[in-house]
Amino acid sequence: MELTIEQIENAVKDKGYKWFENGDWNLNIVGIRNSDTGDEITNKFDDQITLSYKVNGEWKFHSFNCTTDSGRYWMTENIMRKEGCAILKEGQYRSAYRIAKHRGVYDCLSQRGKNPVTVYRDANKDDCYDFNNDNTETGYFGINIHRATAREGKTSTQVDKWSAGCQVIASNDDWHEFMKVCYKANEVWGNNFTYTLIESKDII
């Protein structure tokens, strides 16, 4: 799906969420969950994470293939908690993220910010995502924004173990581009990031 910054801005504002446009390097980090796949566990990087921000007053835009959903490995075979595997619920998570280490290894946007996130819990192993508002939990669960493959120039194609709720960028090169922008935003605005997750059906 080819996206434009105008589409993302309109979708975010239509949801009543904050769109950051004051000053340079004020990031809008927006994930788009693929609505076309419904509740199917595709185990693919078929979602997108976008960056929208200004530099010298001019808007910049990036879009990266990712997953916003947990991989089949954790959904159907190796559920880590009896309450079920985590799937990040759509919403805007203000100041929920900061740059920190993913599992103590490399920098990511870690869910160690000021505010919690909300996840769906899915424990029935039925090979479908349960986006059930009656089975959610709010808190700090390590729902990080990180990369898949560590191999330079490579792109992962299967989610599998890469996500147990995390938002994961498929391409190593894309990941470095994503973090380069986040580092610059950190210099200007501090180590404090908002993440917004919407669905592709929200985009006109």
pTM of the model: 0.95
Q: pLDDT, tens digit, for every residue of 55-73?
A: 999 999 999 999 999 988 8
pLDDT, position 134? 85
107-156 per-position pLDDT tens digit: 999 999 999 999 999 877 787 898 988 889 999 999 999 999 999 999 99
The residue ranges of every structural domain in the chain are: 5-202
pLDDT tens profile 11-34: 999 999 999 999 999 999 999 999
**Residue 176 pLDDT > 70, yes or no?**
yes
Neighbours of 25 (CB within 10 A): 18
DSSP for 48-113 reads EEEEEEEETTEEEEEEEEEE-S--HIIIII--SSTT-EEEEPSEEEEEEEEEEEETTTEEEEES-S
The number of C-alpha atoms within 13 Å of 24 and in the hemisphere containing its C-beta is 8
Q: What is the pLDDT of residue 1?
A: 66
What pLDDT does residue 2 have? 84
